A and B are shown apart, each in its own frame.
Chain A
Amino acid sequence: MRRIIFVLLLLAALHPLSFGQTGQKAPQLALKDLRGRDLRLSDYLGKVVLVNFWATWCPPCRAEVPDLVKMQREYKGRGLRVIGVTYPPQTAEEVRQFIRELRINYPVALGTKETKALFDQSETLPVTVVIDREGNFRELIEGILLPEEFEQKIKPLLQ
């Protein structure tokens, strides 16, 4: 029995940590937003960050954007910051047009499959990664971010 436990512990120690564990440091994200400004997660320490992976061709992603715009507006003063990262195929012009139409009030960058894979290996969209004020991963929310998920998983981080 002891030998089994030892082997299990050894395997656990040798297995590389995969991203997705609560409290783990969030991966470094360094992109340029569509206005050409640097977008680095490390610049957001002290804020609660929602990194929203989305695409203009994805109906639930489009449906979710107005809620994200509202969250950014209402909770900015309490330290909430939304970052949009698109998923291909996507052109800058398509995204810019969408930003204008929906009056997106947070930075948006063009991402790649690899950008999303830093946080999430699935092909699910939309996906929202929640990062706390210390830069730690807290939640990965698949699908539209529902109001009750905001209340339960994000609002407590804004206290």
Chain B
Amino acid sequence: MRINRIAALLGLIVALSLGALSARAETKTATIRVEGMHCKMCSASVAKALQATDGVEKVEVSHEKGVAVVQYDDQKVTEAKLREVINGTGFKAVEEKSAGD
């Protein structure tokens, strides 16, 4: 009985901690237009550099669409940093202008 109570308490602590963590770290998705990718190896180079970036969780790069879709932990990396990484591969991450511009 006592063990059950301890186990329940521990479970509660773990659940609360996970809840707190997930509240802090949020997975975001950035869709970044990339200029200059004309072949499969181009998109592979961009994907490799993004995947090696701390905080990046999932990457899909399409040279046909000229787009990189990146899922990332916004506590570890920013979209600006992702653009910097893309530019470092020799391609150009294009800044999308907002409707008001």
Which residue of the partner chain, among B44, B48, B89, contacts A63 with CB atoms under 8 Å? B89
Q: Determine the distance from Cα of A124 to Cα of B48 in the docked complex, in whole angstroms.
A: 13
Please tell me if B3 contacts chain A, counting CB pairs below 8 Å: no
A window 53-70: CB within 8 A of B: 58-64
Number of interface residues of B (CB under 8 A): 13
Does B44 lie within 8 Å of A143, measured CB to CB?
Answer: yes
With CB as the reference atom, state the residue of chain B lying closest to A127: B41
Q: Determine the distance from Cα of A33 to Cα of B48 in the docked complex, in whole angstroms.
A: 30
- Can you sample 30 A-B contacts with CB below 8 Å? A58-B41, A59-B36, A59-B42, A59-B90, A59-B91, A60-B41, A60-B45, A60-B89, A60-B90, A61-B90, A62-B90, A63-B89, A63-B90, A64-B90, A123-B41, A124-B41, A124-B44, A126-B45, A142-B44, A143-B41, A143-B44, A143-B49, A144-B45, A144-B48, A144-B49, A144-B89, A146-B48, A146-B49, A146-B52, A148-B52
Question: Told that A60-B89, A60-B91, A63-B89 touch, could you supply 12 new A-B pairs with CB distance under 8 A?
Answer: A59-B36, A59-B42, A60-B41, A60-B42, A63-B88, A124-B44, A142-B44, A143-B41, A143-B44, A144-B89, A146-B48, A146-B49
